[in-house]
Structure 1
């Protein structure tokens, strides 16, 4: 049984409902604190101090700490300066020199307070250096204050990567994620795919219904694209105007084409009435798909530019061949 068309009056209501599910900062969520100490009794003491306020992970040496950091989701590290396997200075230096981990704040606690060591750790990028005999309530307050700054920074970062109208990722977020995924695919010797989407005859829609309704339509389509994606690792972003991009790491052309067809079908399923002079009665999209297997020999900037150009060419083909379809 076919679904009933979505009236123009209902578009706003649906878009408003979807707006409430946008990716927004969760101020109540606990951030993750990594505790690093070779002595289990000290880790237990720290768990007792911080456990009710933070998500806790632990490590007993420098190498374990680095593995936990590289696995992701660590917001702040509280570590002894005396570590086995890998020195605390080397851990701090590694974290602060790599783009994927430089945001993690490092706090060090020393059993043998030294101005020379304090200067060294702060120069390497640590946010604090604390003597081990600091009272627990003072230690908690200092870490809590740093966590507040971390949370605020994360909220600002999220805002900077979010499209204000639709609530999905913006062009800035896409550009950064593309470089990240490109490198990951090279290391994993896999494919990366890109779907470029354009709402068909969107100017006609704006001309007939106005820009307010146009914004509501953009939001509805954007959230539909996000809802249709198969994996949380796939990124849906607003590329500009009525164009969107879907980034699919470790996905070949066959898989990407299937996803693109699902996107076209899903937007059709919204049944949003189009302008009278549009080709189709309801809002539709055209999608261009491309896939590539980058290697270390590829120059990243040139490879990415060509990759995006190919998706744009495929989108142009889809629009030329009649719109409301997928081309690769």
Structure 2
């Protein structure tokens, strides 16, 4: 049973959302929603997968391109893996793109192209975890599920003045978020809390003076909002090293490889190279006159920093050593490469 304070909070936040909801290409705004327009579960799912570990600004153009090229889950399920991975390049966390295709194909071929409408069934789909299942169930199907992303965690930690650090405090924050989730308009409410965290209850310098929940916020009353949420201090990221080998034929063709499906950049096109470790050996993919390109590529992944040395060579037309992929100069698009491989290409091209 929700008490009167919880009802007041959710109603206040919904009223604020009705006036200030952000416009996004995947969102059905409160006015249209009130008029009976239902969100497309495909677009909700796609946006939520893209938004993991990424910002709204970074996702916007990717989402528009994806939905222009593959407007339905069935069209995405029928797409070639390489095309999808190429469109994903630059968004990072490439396991998401592989799971995106797996999920699309399960929905298309096992669910007749329709996403399940409840949390438990959504959770069984490839690549969908508790947060994404709750978000789709709430936003697409108006189920009263508790949606807990980083924005919501921050709002709850401040609203209830919870000082236990993340990630250990997640269960407590979820209980608090669940207590505020209304049975009426739960999809709009979930988006309202996320919008509040993204635009007002921000990580630094929260705009408490214009927050609709200011008068009820425990951290505001205690003047602790700038300290919350607390987080366990992360260990510094290690640095790994590696070698990359860029070979171009005289006819302009480039020699690339398809990375294994599992692991970082799985399934993506890239330049052949060494393992990434503390002391990687030089290991050219085939004998040639390799020359090191001045400079280095620096890139940061979730768990480590990477520094790459770049080696280059030229080959006669018609050469196709080993099992590398020969990409005609008219077919090769640097934009199809993951970011770190594109950085290597840019360094080579600049030289």
The structure whose residues are more often helix, as a share, is 1
TM-score normalised over the length of structure 1: 0.28
- Write 1 or 2 for the structure with the bigger share of strand: 1
